Structure 1
């Protein structure tokens, strides 16, 4: 594993609480795998044998309904992990994973991870913290779908991807805007309207790049309660 990939893994939510020999032993067995756009990482129903951390690119998790309709469960980019919840209990993947763009994934075998937890009990605390953060993010996502306008949901999505806390920032989006719309519970045409609405809040979209004029101001807009004018 290259130094850059190692740093991404160490800073990921999943591993950020691990230090020293335990982290070293775990990463010594990890491998980086490249995937082409549209390539399958795993399929719904496959044995959950590995945990993945995105080193570059975009990955989507989705489920297929009996009707054949696709429901996007989540989209993941650099530093985000997926697959851990089911891998830790020897289950099957409840969703499929597909590379949305060309990407590189850091693969950690679940058996190796579990072995390290048995040898280093403190790792369990770090994993619980990561699991709690994932759950918190999921609850926030559901709340956002119900309580935020379309433009606010897009603003929250951009803020999740922004690497800076304040000031101007540029964000790289997945090429497939249909994917973003699905992730945010919107139709593609609604997403286009939301992008237009965000111009007045300092967001400019050019192809797959979003330029945010002021991250703090956009955060204020995203967190504003749409019902507040009615209750003041």
Structure 2
């Protein structure tokens, strides 16, 4: 089911959408997807760019053995941006849980990028941030130990060494490529050693660790 959006409320809760011009807001609709429902299928011709408001969408492919390979987990924000320059989708997008997704028509997005320089600059800035995030994720997953991955996340994704998790610890463990048992055990040890301070969903690098990072950079 698709409905039109209350943009003042939407940009208040999702300020990263504030750069969308009025021409795109006028044609954007929101869709609700049940768990397991497909947002788009591999080899289909792209029709839209998507923004996840709530829930989780996974971009997946099937291996030759028939196993599901997760290329990306999205819990908020744009996804399938590459479809702007692609003739077909190269993976399936599937709702991992009930999800609310904005659908922004592809043709209108291309037209706005061609004709609206403010939107074009904002879109380039968005893609640059996503590239930096993808590089950091690649670096993180190349690290061997759970401790290295956790500390790298706090250093690269945090603000002054502070991260407020917007997802469950189990979901964060999956993002780090760890089992949730390994994550919990390693976090407990980092706390005991005074390297990480935890308050609810907030994780903070201890000052001595943060200073050490600054000294090396």
With normalisation by structure 2, the TM-score equals: 0.75
Q: What's the offset of the Cα at 1:170?
A: 5.8
Change (3 A) 1:65 1:170: closer
CA offsets, 1:50-101, max 9 Å, x none?
11111111212222111112222221123x1111122x12422222211122
Number of the residue aligned with 1:101: 97
Distance across 1 between alignment mates of 2:165 and 2:63? 36
Change (3 A) 1:166 1:136: closer
Number of the residue aligned with 1:66: 64
Distance across 2 between alignment mates of 1:173 and 1:134? 22
Q: What's the offset of the Cα at 1:214?
A: 4.2
Which of 137, 140, 159 pairs up with 2:136? 140
Secondary structure of 1:108's aligned partner: strand
Q: What's the offset of the Cα at 1:105?
A: 0.7
> How many residue pairs were aligned?
201
Q: What are the within-5 Å matches in structure 2 for residues 77-96 of structure 1?
A: 77-78=75-76, 80-86=77-83, 88-96=84-92
Q: What's the offset of the Cα at 1:118?
A: 2.2
Contact in 1 for aligned 2:59/2:71 (Cα 8 Å): yes
Contact in 1 for aligned 2:45/2:89 (Cα 8 Å): yes
With normalisation by structure 1, the TM-score equals: 0.71
Distance across 2 between alignment mates of 1:104 and 1:149? 35
Higher RCO, Cα 8 Å, sep 6+: 1
Q: What's the offset of the Cα at 1:167?
A: 6.9
Number of the residue aligned with 2:176: 184
Distance across 2 between alignment mates of 1:33 and 1:159? 35
Q: What's the offset of the Cα at 1:46?
A: 1.9
Contact in 2 for aligned 1:47/1:92 (Cα 8 Å): yes
Q: What's the offset of the Cα at 1:185?
A: 3.2
Unpaired segments ≥5 residues, structure 2? none
Contact in 1 for aligned 2:24/2:109 (Cα 8 Å): yes
Q: CA RMSD in A?
A: 3.3
Q: What are the within-5 Å matches in structure 2 for residues 10-21 of structure 1?
A: 11-12=15-16, 15=17, 18=19
